[in-house]
Amino acid sequence: MIARIGAALAVLAMALAARTTQPNMQPLKEQRGLCQAAVPADATVLAGYIAQGPKEAYTAQLEEFHYSRAFENTATRLWVETEAHALSPGIRAFHVYVPAKTGRCHLGISFKTTTPDDAPKRIAQTLSAVK
């Protein structure tokens, strides 16, 4: 009996975890269908991946974050290079994020493709939260 109750609870937990939207929420999916989120039912979905709250109180836009390579992806630092197609021709960009007291610090470094990686990499490694 206890095993059946445990199994029933496990099935219920999996079903709840599998739900993509909560009650009174409506789904958003990014253009390629790889990411999803939900917005309140009273939001206006302008496209499958953009929604606006009542009286333009907020705008939510869902998109896949593209990067060509990750230099570091840990709990203490995310450091990626933006994919070339997302930038102007001849430009590369690093984005670095580290935890801060009330959020995250973000450092964006854009540089010409002719610039050696050395200086942008040295700069990227200096990002930290003020203690």
Query: Across residues 68-76, what is the average pLDDT?
Result: 93
User: Whole-model pTM?
Assistant: 0.60
**From the centroid of its chain, how far is CA 105?**
15
Read off the pLDDT band of 33 (50, 70, 90). confident
> Do 28 and 48 touch, CB atoms closer than 8 A?
yes
Bridge partners of 104, per DSSP, are 99
Confidence tier at 22 by pLDDT (50, 70, 90): low
